Amino acid sequence: MDQNKVPVRGDIHVIIVGDPGLGKSQLLQAAAAVSPRGIYVCGNATTKAGLTVAVVKDPMTNDYAFEAGAMVLADSGLCCIDEFDKMSSEHQALLEAMEQQCVSIAKAGLVASLSSRTSVLAAANPVGGHYNRAKTVNENLKMSAALLSRFDLIFILLDKPDELLDKRVSEHIMSLHTGSGQHSQASKKRRGDPPSDSRASASQNAEGVDLGARSGSLISKLKLDRRRDNDFVPLPGQLLRKYIAYARSFVFPRMSKPAADIIQKFYLKLRDHNVSADGTPITARQLESLVRLAEARARLDLRVEITTQDAMDAVEIMKESLYDKYVDEHGVVDFGRSGGMSQQKEAKRFLNALNKQSELEQKDIFSVSSGR
């Protein structure tokens, strides 16, 4: 590595926020199982030292030594943190570990910096049990903006009644208990049908940033066709683990000029609408996230160069995350919601400020210019 260059994080951090009972914990456990080096921890039983580094005393020699926590043990792997909302007092310990990918410690005369080059996959339940679209992600999680900005992707899972999906899930659960096969007929039958949620109707916000799925998109390619893929069998976990280990060790794709132009164009468009929305949701971290997603997409196919299709897939994944993060209760994408405060809370804060100013100046009428 060139000593004159500053290393940039290459791992992707993802957080899943949603209503209870949607299988977030099972998803994290499955991800840790197929990862070449996967660590699964539960936030309600984890301390700051358990996440980063602890200093312990050897009873035989009376010397102090470091004991690695979950982030250090998952170096060059995946760290899955469940119940992320239950460990608010330990959130500050993750700031350095997630962005700089190292854990600095100075205790008992020992000063060291240990590597934590790991991807973080976290799952959290919103405050109050159910996610409220009228509030921002920060308000639903009671999480600082500094920590939330370190996640490249934020996905919201809502428990909405869906007849087709509920039938598939119930048949799958019943088949597991009755032993009638690993794949239910309902899961095979309608996988090619379009989703029934409201993303298609709200695919474009008022400013014109397209957040919907295009034809030939990554979503459509990932769906199984009910005519051609009737006998589809998932890749075995052991083989998938070897494939991931090989791709991480031997495949290092480089960015092509057309792919870089696609990513840059999308980033500049987001920045432009960010300014018009009078908020600060889009920063250079989103640009770096797009680059990491494009690299991961090319590495998945063992390509040494990032193609335009890889860049378009990365942009589509980012659009899905932005839709989940900035959509309000009416299905409208609002980039001004990222300041950690919903419109209702901002209005209440503005009224409180007006009341204080009215008491100081002893008047009840204000002009628009003075209100600014």
Domain residue limits, the chain: 1-160, 342-371
Residue showing tokens 């260059």: 5
Strand partners of residue 123:
16
Q: What is the pLDDT of residues 317-358, one digit of tens each?
A: 998 888 777 666 555 555 555 555 555 666 666 677 777 777
Q: What is the largest CA-CA distance in the chain?
A: 77
Does 132 score more than 90 pLDDT? no
User: Residue 207 has what pLDDT?
Assistant: 45
Q: What is the DSSP string of 297-361?
A: HHHHTT-SEE-HHHHHHHHHHHHHHHHHHHB-TTS-B-GGGGGS--HHHHHHHHHHHHHHHHHHH
Arithmetic mean of pLDDT over the chain: 80
Strand runs labelled E in 189-261: 254-255
Note whether 22 and 157 are within 8 A (CB). Answer: yes
> What is the per-residue pLDDT across 97-129, written as a single tens digit (0 to 9) for each?
898 888 988 887 888 899 999 999 999 998 888
Q: Is the pLDDT of residue 190 over 50?
A: no
For the stretch 33-77, pLDDT in tens is: 999 999 999 988 888 888 999 888 888 888 888 889 999 999 999
Helix axes 237-250, 284-300, angle to 10 degrees: 120
Say which CATH superfamily domain 1-160 falls into: P-loop containing nucleotide triphosphate hydrolases (3.40.50.300)
Query: Which residues, in sequence order, are bridge partners of residue 154?
Result: 15
Q: pLDDT tens digits, residue range 196-217?
A: 444 544 444 434 555 544 446 7
State what percent of residues in the chain have pLDDT above 90.
30
Q: What is the pTM of this model?
A: 0.77
pLDDT by residue (tens digit) across 235-260?
898 999 999 999 999 999 999 999 99
pLDDT of amino acid 184: 45
- Is residue 318 within 8 A of residue 289, CB to CB? The reply is yes
Taking only the tens place, the pLDDT of each residue in 306-316 is 999 999 999 99
Instruction: Compute the C-alpha angle 203/195/22, nearest 5°.
Output: 105
Which pLDDT belongs to residue 49? 87
CA angle 251, 257, 258 (to 5 degrees): 100
Q: What burial class does residue 221 get, using C-beta atoms within 10 Å of its C-beta: 0-12 exposed, 13-18 middle, 19+ buried?
A: exposed
